[in-house]
Structure 1
């Protein structure tokens, strides 16, 4: 959904570029969320000129000042930008090394041709050993800490890549990133296993900006006993024996050999979708189980919160953790993103403070208030 009309009372705009979508939020007084818009992120890396054009294409209707890019008579609107696309080339400050507050890299001004906007890019975090980096996750972590400043524990930011971050005293102490959902997309879209896990109404990634985050029923009917059991069994097996992942993946093909033709077609129409749903649930179980095995120091005995997009992905992580006795709460990624952008904006203009006003009633739970 693109911006469609001028927004009254808008003070600044937050923008996040994800792998698939460019998201924008119009923010008013006291960090009140006024409107939001979504457009195409674009698959390629962008320089500052292309970035400005893409941002303006999404938010231009909100500006409401005609098309004179040189007209500064009404002042410019600050735009706080963060790149979470995984592409290179977008302008950003030098990332800060952990341990550090999530927004320690600060904002860097990005020159623009259009005088209606004042563009600033937020930097991310890096880690020397093991080598790692994050950008969008740093903004969501900052948003969570803005809403929960006393939190001490581990945040699990799920999406295209899952980031496990140990947070203490307002700083990210260490973190580790896993490409679990991207592996799911690659396996279901570009390997022989696509014939065993595909369904007629699903693509590899689904409709959300992050793979596995809402579209295409990526886990089948995870609430059903069949698919739920398939996920649970596969997750437990790979958590105990992560070295079996590569071999375990091929059991998905063997398990479905009787249900479909060798070229990926189905012998019995929709009746084979159930087997494919169970196979997708098993695939998610294997990938998340292997991830939890490697991330054990982050979740074992820790206070845990999962940050997740809409859709089943964060619920799968919560389910897997609960099976290990590691209870967690799940909070909405969009809300943490907006709160993090608000925190970045307050650093640019200290006079603007406060947490964002929720666009909808807050979820139940201790952390999503």
Structure 2
């Protein structure tokens, strides 16, 4: 196998994903548990000799944190070199004062999507362990809000399995959106019913996932109501958000997370080459 042209890496949801690249084509991909890795350990895990590395999601971990204040274009400052390591470049994170929040690897996903969807105006929903609703205009991130919905879901349900998006999921979306104060009680009710054999695992999974997403949609209503919306996620999470938004009469654009982030890392690398 030919040596890679470069390495595309991102740090998100406690995982470091490292890809060897030939141009814009991913040749290999590996995932590393990064929950307890230092910045230097992350750099070592990405590196392969002197091959060029482009890393997203770790800008805030640098000795001098690489942060861009919104409103800003995701690639406004290009890539930053790591002191003493010539072949590693880092994409800055995006930060917002009110409500306080930070977009890390999401900055690469946003850059990738905006490069693929010219002149996009609207909202981008980036769903993962946390979900960020990002308003974009004229290629800039204008504002965003992040919700810990995925982390809350992980405590009570399995997100790596496909979900039945029929009546039980949709009814739970409706209830979570309309009556978010009831969700905690519903979680207890449904899990107890499942323990006693009164509710099967598939139905409980659908209800729990629907209720949490409905609760989030209620809080994020100013972002999606009457707006063009794009959902960037993978697998079951993307399907959950698309089904919940369609329930509200929104027909979102769908892009898988891997496509978006690889496109963003490649665009960041090109911007460095041409600057």
Does TM, scored on the shorter chain, surpass 0.5?
yes
Alpha-carbon shift at residue 112 of structure 1 (Å): 5.4
1:133 aligns to what? 102
Please tell me whether the aligned partners of residues 7 and 34 of structure 1 are also in contact (alpha carbons under 8 angstroms).
no
Q: Distance in 2 between matches of 1:290 and 1:92?
A: 37
Query: Is residue 249 of structure 1 aligned with residue 193 of structure 2?
Result: no
User: Once superposed, what is the RMSD of the aligned Cα atoms?
Assistant: 2.3
SS at match of 2:274: coil
Matches within 5 A, 1:1-369: 6-8=1-3, 10-28=4-22, 31-48=23-40, 50-56=41-47, 60=48, 76-83=50-57, 89=61, 93-111=65-83, 118-188=87-157, 204=158, 212=159, 215=160, 217=161, 219=163, 222=164, 228-259=166-197, 275-309=200-234, 311-350=235-274
Q: Distance in 1 between matches of 2:53 and 2:25?
A: 14
**CA distance 1:111–1:259, change in 2 (3 Å):** same
Please tell me whether the aligned partners of residues 106 and 344 of structure 1 are also in contact (alpha carbons under 8 angstroms).
yes
- TM-score w.r.t. the length of structure 2 is 0.91
Q: Distance in 2 between matches of 1:286 and 1:102?
A: 32
Q: Select the structure of larger CA radius of gyration.
A: 1
Would you say how many aligned residue pairs link Structure 1 and Structure 2?
Answer: 275
**CA distance 1:14–1:121, change in 2 (3 Å):** same
What are the Cα deviations for residues 61-107 of structure 1, in whole angstroms up to 9, with x where unaligned?
Answer: xx6xxxxxxxxxxxx432101127xx974567431111110223542
* Structure 2 residues without counterparts, runs of 5 or longer: none
**CA distance 1:218–1:233, change in 2 (3 Å):** same
Choose between structure 1 and 2: higher strand proportion. Answer: 2
What are the Cα deviations for residues 197-250 of structure 1, in whole angstroms up to 9, with x where unaligned?
Answer: xxxxxxx5xxxxxxx3xx3x263xx15xxxx22111111011111122222222
Please tell me whether the aligned partners of residues 60 and 66 of structure 2 are also in contact (alpha carbons under 8 angstroms).
no
Q: Distance in 2 between matches of 1:34 and 1:292?
A: 34
Alpha-carbon shift at residue 11 of structure 1 (Å): 2.6
SS at match of 1:349: helix
Q: Distance in 1 between matches of 2:63 and 2:202?
A: 41
Q: Distance in 2 between matches of 1:45 and 1:152?
A: 37
Please tell me whether the aligned partners of residues 218 and 280 of structure 1 are also in contact (alpha carbons under 8 angstroms).
no
| Large movers: runs of 4+ above 6 Å | none
Alpha-carbon shift at residue 161 of structure 1 (Å): 0.9
Q: Distance in 1 between matches of 2:244 and 2:116?
A: 26
**CA distance 1:313–1:21, change in 2 (3 Å):** same
